[in-house]
Structure 1
Amino acid sequence: MIYGIIVFGIGFMMISPVSAFISALFFRSYLRDMAVSEGRKFSVWQGIIVMLCVFGLFEIHNQINVRGMDMAAFGNSDEHIRGVKLLRAFGSESEMLKSCYGMNRRNNIMFLWQDVFKKNFHYLWDDMPSTEKWDMPSTKRSREIYYRVTGKPFNSVPPPKYSSRSEWWDSGLGGEKVSQKIEGLWLNASRLDGKIEPDAATSYLEWTMVFKNDSRIQQEARAQILLPKGGVVSRLTLWVNGEEREAAFSTRGKARAAYNSVVHQRRDPVLVSYDGADRILMQCFPVPPTGEMKIRIGMTSPLTLDSKDEGMMTIPRILENNFGIAEGFGHSVWIDSKTPLSSSEKSLISTEDGFVLKGDIYESFSDASVVIRVRRSAEILSAWTPDPTDNTSAVYQTIAETTSQPPNQAIFVIDGSVGMKEHIPAITDALSLVPAGVRYGVIFASDKTETLSSSASEKDMQTIALQLKNADYIGGCDNVSALEQAWDMANPELNPVIIWIHATQPLLLKSAEGLTQRLQLNKRGGWIDVQAAPGPNRIIKVLKKTDKPEILSMSKSLGDDIKRILSTSKQKQFEFSRKNLRKEEVESLKPDVQTSSHIALLWANSEILTYYKAGNTDEAVNLASRYRLVTPVSSAVVLENKQQYKDAGLEVPEYKPGKDYDFNDVVMEDKNIGGSAVPEPATLWLLFIGIVLAGIWKMWKNRSVTDKRLS
């Protein structure tokens, strides 16, 4: 019988509280009789006190976490910092992570008391200070607190595994942020193909990605991608039913509206939009349950010239993603050129002639910069290409050597976040060896912004470097206030440069309006962004209509990068100039070489940014649509069929396959784009159910006819 209850009696579990109560009464009677027989005093209260102490030990840690979250979320600036410090010392990272996903219901005594108190004594509740109410922080606020406490973006770690909500609830679906990590969604394949034109000093890369969904429902893959310096997205494709489809380029609002419309229909769109300087946001939906989705992003970028005979570029990187990348995952790379190539990445191997660089990169593209170097002819300083949108025009490019003046004032803004800890030795070594003749300022962005010096000499910097080496690097810190102070400290007469060295900045912890104002009013002075640790940078994203900062192309040595910035010798630089002229005028200039149309795309991108910063949005939109580029005013979207493009008011391009992709291979036509040939899984299920029901109805009808005949 007992065996039968264990195996088949799962239904008895619902009466377990009653059986536990009966057992407690039985043991209470037994213990009382035993105490009387031994002549000892029996007390119920002793047991109750012990029970409360045991429960209290389990509850106290949870209450500390709740109290810290409340102080950090609803307190003033001082209470906020105390709450963050309390969570760093005693908080539960797993509980904070649950709050980031909106799953942390406070199933504890204080939460039950709060509900009763709010319901029956609301007139007292309304008069209580905010820090005494113990409210639930919003998911947005919880994510800020998680970053402040841990120094990590909440979506850089796997979601809580013990709740099925992490699978079906995606708050970022169709939004403009990467948002939360999705369990079961993976980058399943990654391939980067590229071609470098050394004469034109340009490169074109195509990144093909395949996403796999192991979950039971459709999911959206999202990622923020860092392009090569000065790069722009010039192509986007999506595979629909095994066929590669090209993107339509339109205004940001129109493209996003088309994407969201198709997302709501559970069809197959992909959207790429501008997400800050040299950054894009990629999102595609739906990655089907236990299925895959394949996309390709094409990027045009200029080379950075270290000298007339050598150029360099960095491979694009994933800064933030809502999908997983398995440990040991390999990104396949193949880049070719007409001249020898080399790379900082040891796993990339050159062919015997050196014109092809290939291999697999087994670390995540988000972990480090991979630099590609290419040899070029020092005599070729001008190039041209026909304008792909106008047969009578051409784009003319020149490369000119200039000399930069060294700064007389250098202000360092050092991020105090935990992600900086491993980089501090290299930074302090470089700061202790700064050149003489420059006035130095150092601002440390910790929980509170601290000015270490506003006018230090090279000798003083050795003491400051020691202070930075001994400082605490913990959690995530606000850098906006420190940058504002740096610009207030800058003296325009000294040709100042602000060098911001920081870890990831996944959240904007303070409004950047004050910083934007300073950038727009300070016409003199430079700002160099040195991101020591990989990840998103929300501060850069909001500075849309400014020319600052200059994002440093990182090498493998952070210390060498800082020394290069501070070099007091006059540095040689190479600047590109691109103009759109009449063909006859270009021919009269006798350019050195004719190249592909990618220099025309770079000219158009530069013009679009100029129009955008000047507030001339209409001209910017017209150029972006003509040259099919993703810019601050335009996005690229791929839809599933011809009707969806028509409904959204978008033109449909068609790609003519060739050996190498070029702008001229795309024609603006609206043919051969039909509907989906394979129905969606839901449609197949409905069709199957309909057939089964029709069969049952047919059998029932035939049986009725047979019964009538027999009767």
Structure 2
Amino acid sequence: MTNKQYFQMMFRNAPLWVGLIGILVSLGFYFVPELFHVEQTDFFGLFLTNYVFLQLYFVFLWASGNFKRGRKGRNTFAIYTTLCLISCFLLNKSVGIFSASAGWWAFMLALCCINHIAYGFKEVFPPVVRMIMAFILGIASCCFLYLVFCLLPGYLFGAIGGLFFGIGLHVFIPLLCLIYNINLASKYVWFRKKQLYAYLGGIGFVVVVIAFYIGLWCNAVSSINRAYLMPDNEELPGWENVARKTTANAMVERVLKAKLVYQVSDIADMDLIDGIFDRPRQSTFFDARQLHDPLIMIASMTGISYVPETEAAKILSAMFDSRQETQERLWSGDQLSTIQVHTNADIWPSLHMAYTEKTLNVYSDAPNAGSWNSEEAIYRFHLPEGGVVTSLSLWINGREEKGVLTTKEKATEAYKTVVGREARDPGVVHWQEGNTVTVRVFPVSGQESRQFKIGITAPLLQEGTRLVYQNIWFQGPDAANAREDVHINFLENPVEVELPGLFTRTQNTFSSVGPYDADWQISCLDPGVHSNLFSANGQSYFVMPYKPEMGGAFVKTIYLDINQSWTLAEFKAIKNLRIPMKVYAENGWQPATDELFENLQKDRYSLFPVYKVADRETALVITKGNVMSPNLDDLSESTFYKELQHSFGTPGKLLLFNLGGELSPYMRTLKEYRLFRYAEGDVNELGKFMSLKQFPADIENDHRVVIEPAGITINKEENEGRSNAPDHLMRLFAYNHIMQKMGPQKVSDTSLIAAAKESYIVTPVSSLIVLETQKDYDRFNIHDDINSLKNAAIHGKGAVPEPHVWALILIGLVCMLWFKKKRAAAI
């Protein structure tokens, strides 16, 4: 038979074409929930519709004799098994036996089914293609055998469930696919040597991959468990030792994500109901759908790490920068996306500061199915050093509701009560370590969007003779397809402005409209600090240029904070300073030797125990920037944290010299708490400080704070004058002064909260919250302070009215025209 005759015969085979079209229809049913946002309660309805079609196709094949032996039956039976497998996964959407398939696994199952169907046309393929088909047939044998093994404990219930219209028989479909796969191999592969080798090669390939994967998995589990159970510092939790010492690779990440993200084997507790794996679920500590990955499932049968899920989330944050994903959440947020970003900023070059408002719209792609399908939007905003959140708004029922400042404890209690128990409208912003804040908004209902606004007062970055405004970027619901409009208003005439390419200028306002871009900045020439003043409540605030003042530094001991960012050359150069050096290792101080340096250099980061330095007045700590480390809050239950907090009351400040790079979140927080006299540079600059016995002095006090990146100090006087500057002076002073007081001087929480309320700023002890009604504020005892600054606001010319403001303006214009027309008619 020629190829032309063969294809003519296939073309006249109606059951074949009905089946191929049926596969497309079934795949349509499978993807309908994602494409058209079908409610979860309708998943079973989609399955039943597809199941009816499947049974009709079965009757059609039976009546037309397509189940008889021969090529004709082989072609259609392969299509029928494919339809059955699709039906299995459609049913899984309702009963939830397996989690969502990993991408590679879904591809492999599709490839196996295509290969089965292709065997009905094998005569038209050249020998090389048939070899490949035999290889895939070997892989398919392993894939279907895996599914059979997974579902084996459910066969008894499947047989019983088969009495109800045959639905329970779906548990046997992988077994049917396996039998058909072996039948194909026995007829077309096993008696042809080359194809047999290809078939066995496919099986061998799977076995080798699994063995190799299990080996990597066991090695990762062993290294994690060893570091967790045998920490080298008794004052730190075991999980911290894992984050610091375990090699950061893809397998370690997968082991730590077991149960959090990946469905794992539960073979030790296997029963007839749950099978051999944990049931699919949404993790509280990771913002991602749980996935079913057979390689991880099989490897996890050898064991998983001893690290609890809560601590595994902390390790992932410290090792893989997944702090946004590992935040504890009350509701899911995996179907949210950011669709619109509006940035509006006022800039005062002569004050070296700016105020930015970010208005975001977050949309839920979930079905519109009431409160049960509501989601929680969590954003993490990254602020410039010294910056502070000074306003929060949430749109409720189309109306902007502004936040109220209260203690962090009250805000947390109110938010968790309203969201966790009552599922009503709140929004809250909390201070976080490392110059970040988190914003939580609830609810975002299916097929709807929510709008909120956050305001940030922040210093400009001084770079030589220029001032740089840095875009405040965020992490949160996907913003890949978001639109952004930007309006930057200079409140003074800027000189030599440098702009990103898409910005246009209208007088002193710079605008841009286009796709959202997190990484951009605007700079201008530094005009110098001009005369300025802001007065409130009998006190005045003004800005002065910062000029570092040198103070005495009689260093007797150098303490090295060594991690993987150090180089051996730096270590040897510091040793040449001929000053006694110490390194903290394994619960004690040790002399700095080359061997010890090599051991500590393997650590991903370091947590220098500043509380163990007894000679603060004569001690110098040398560190090097590393963006990875746990936050202090992550260590809150440890002895290390408690000792560190206790040491904040010790008089004197350590000298801290940074050899380069961004400080770790741990060191950055301690610096923000003013625990150090700080300087940075290379080894040569350090040598100059040591030879002159000088170091930048601490010039901050109750009436002056230093904002080093902006090159300014903000000063306070006990008198009131005529204000010619914005209230942001007072807000920035208050924030940096509170951070200063929370460190060594340990002021009581009452005074800190009072200062935060007066300036209306978000700090470690205060938060902004928006609740739905005044009754909500009353029952949680959250009230505004009459003498406070309230929420900050944009005052520049470039501010763009919100949609409801445009509506009011339009209504006003229509009313004016109507009255004018009526008056003219009367005349």
Give the TM bin, normalised by the shorter chain: 0.5 to 0.7
Q: Which piece of structure 1 moves more, 82-91 or 637-646?
A: 82-91
- The match for 1:696 is none
Q: How many Å separate the matches in 1 of 2:479 and 2:753? A: 36
Q: What code does the residue aligned with 2:656 have?
A: W
User: Any conservation in 2 of the 1:484–1:518 contact (CA below 8 Å)?
Assistant: no
Q: Decide which of 46, 61, 77 is 1:3's aligned counterpart.
A: 61
Cα shift readout 1:504-527 (whole Å, capped 9, x = no counterpart): 325657744455566654723333
CA, structure 1 residues 304+532, in 2 after alignment: closer, same or farther (shift >3 Å)?
A: closer
- The match for 1:675 is none
User: Any conservation in 2 of the 1:395–1:603 contact (CA below 8 Å)?
Assistant: no
Q: How many Å separate the matches in 1 of 2:682 and 2:417? A: 46
Unaligned 5+ residue runs, structure 1? 36-49, 117-131, 160-169, 175-180, 457-463, 553-558, 588-592, 663-711
User: Any conservation in 1 of the 2:243–2:315 contact (CA below 8 Å)?
Assistant: no
Q: How many Å separate the matches in 2 of 1:326 and 1:147? A: 22
Q: How many Å separate the matches in 2 of 1:527 and 1:219? A: 44
CA, structure 1 residues 152+452, in 2 after alignment: closer, same or farther (shift >3 Å)?
A: farther
Cα shift readout 1:167-205 (whole Å, capped 9, x = no counterpart): xxx95228xxxxxx9533223222322212234443222
- The match for 2:229 is 75
- The match for 1:105 is 264
Q: Decide which of 165, 183, 191 is 2:342's aligned counterpart.
A: 191
User: Any conservation in 2 of the 1:97–1:154 contact (CA below 8 Å)?
Assistant: no
Q: How many Å separate the matches in 2 of 1:347 and 1:53? A: 52
Q: How many Å separate the matches in 1 of 2:792 and 2:545? A: 36
- The match for 1:679 is none
Q: How many Å separate the matches in 1 of 2:587 and 2:501? A: 43
User: Any conservation in 2 of the 1:233–1:629 contact (CA below 8 Å)?
Assistant: yes
CA, structure 1 residues 334+448, in 2 after alignment: closer, same or farther (shift >3 Å)?
A: farther
Q: How many Å separate the matches in 2 of 1:323 and 1:635? A: 22
Pairwise CA distance, 1:445: 11
More strand by share: 1
Q: Which piece of structure 1 moves more, 134-143 or 279-288?
A: 134-143
1:524 aligns with 2:653: yes
Cα shift readout 1:255-300 (whole Å, capped 9, x = no counterpart): 2222222213222211012223643222111222232222111122
Pairwise CA distance, 1:502: 0.4
Q: Decide which of 763, 766, 770 is 1:634's aligned counterpart.
A: 766
Q: Percent identity at matched positions?
A: 15
1:271 aligns with 2:401: no
Q: Secondary structure at the match of 1:77?
A: coil
Q: Secondary structure at the match of 2:411?
A: helix
Q: Secondary structure at the match of 1:209?
A: strand
Q: Decide which of 311, 316, 331 is 2:472's aligned counterpart.
A: 316
CA, structure 1 residues 210+75, in 2 after alignment: closer, same or farther (shift >3 Å)?
A: same
Q: Secondary structure at the match of 2:478?
A: coil
Q: How many Å separate the matches in 2 of 1:660 and 1:83? A: 46
- The match for 2:532 is 383
Q: Which piece of structure 1 moves more, 207-216 or 329-338?
A: 329-338
CA, structure 1 residues 376+171, in 2 after alignment: closer, same or farther (shift >3 Å)?
A: closer
1:140 aligns with 2:310: yes
**1:418-437 alignment runs, 5 A limit:** none
User: Any conservation in 2 of the 1:206–1:299 contact (CA below 8 Å)?
Assistant: yes
Pairwise CA distance, 1:631: 1.8
User: Any conservation in 2 of the 1:313–1:371 contact (CA below 8 Å)?
Assistant: yes
**1:366-405 alignment runs, 5 A limit:** 370=521, 372-377=523-528, 380=530, 382-387=531-536, 390=537, 393-399=538-544, 402-405=547-550
- The match for 2:101 is none
Unaligned 5+ residue runs, structure 2? 1-58, 63-76, 88-165, 192-201, 233-237, 276-301, 368-372, 698-707, 798-827
1:660 aligns with 2:795: yes
CA, structure 1 residues 135+614, in 2 after alignment: closer, same or farther (shift >3 Å)?
A: closer
CA, structure 1 residues 594+312, in 2 after alignment: closer, same or farther (shift >3 Å)?
A: same
User: Any conservation in 2 of the 1:153–1:506 contact (CA below 8 Å)?
Assistant: no
Q: How many Å separate the matches in 2 of 1:359 and 1:371? A: 12
- The match for 2:39 is none
Q: How many Å separate the matches in 2 of 1:211 and 1:395? A: 40
User: Any conservation in 1 of the 2:430–2:762 contact (CA below 8 Å)?
Assistant: yes
CA, structure 1 residues 57+335, in 2 after alignment: closer, same or farther (shift >3 Å)?
A: same
**1:491-502 alignment runs, 5 A limit:** 492-493=617-618, 496=620, 498-502=622-626
Q: How many Å separate the matches in 1 of 2:584 and 2:485? A: 36
Considering Cα pairs closer than 8 Å and 6+ residues apart, tell me whether 1 or 2 has the greater RCO. Answer: 1
User: Any conservation in 2 of the 1:339–1:376 contact (CA below 8 Å)?
Assistant: no
CA, structure 1 residues 52+566, in 2 after alignment: closer, same or farther (shift >3 Å)?
A: same
User: Any conservation in 1 of the 2:391–2:403 contact (CA below 8 Å)?
Assistant: yes
Cα shift readout 1:62-121 (whole Å, capped 9, x = no counterpart): 4752563265235323899899989768936445434334x4432558989xx99xxxxx
**1:201-600 alignment runs, 5 A limit:** 201-216=352-367, 217-264=373-420, 265-276=422-433, 278-303=435-460, 311-312=467-468, 314-318=470-474, 321-326=475-480, 332=486, 334-340=488-494, 346-347=500-501, 349=503, 351=505, 355-359=508-512, 365=518, 370=521, 372-377=523-528, 380=530, 382-387=531-536, 390=537, 393-399=538-544, 402-405=547-550, 413=561, 415-416=563-564, 477-480=604-607, 483-484=608-609, 488=613, 492-493=617-618, 496=620, 498-506=622-630, 508=634, 511-516=640-645, 521=650, 523-527=652-656, 532=661, 537=665, 540=668, 543=670, 546-548=673-675, 576-583=713-720, 586=721, 594-600=724-730
Cα shift readout 1:669-709 (whole Å, capped 9, x = no counterpart): xxxxxxxxxxxxxxxxxxxxxxxxxxxxxxxxxxxxxxxxx
Q: How many Å separate the matches in 1 of 2:782 and 2:589? A: 52
CA, structure 1 residues 526+293, in 2 after alignment: closer, same or farther (shift >3 Å)?
A: farther
Q: What code does the residue aligned with 1:631 have?
A: T
TM-score by length of 2: 0.54
Pairwise CA distance, 1:352: 7.8
User: Any conservation in 2 of the 1:399–1:577 contact (CA below 8 Å)?
Assistant: yes
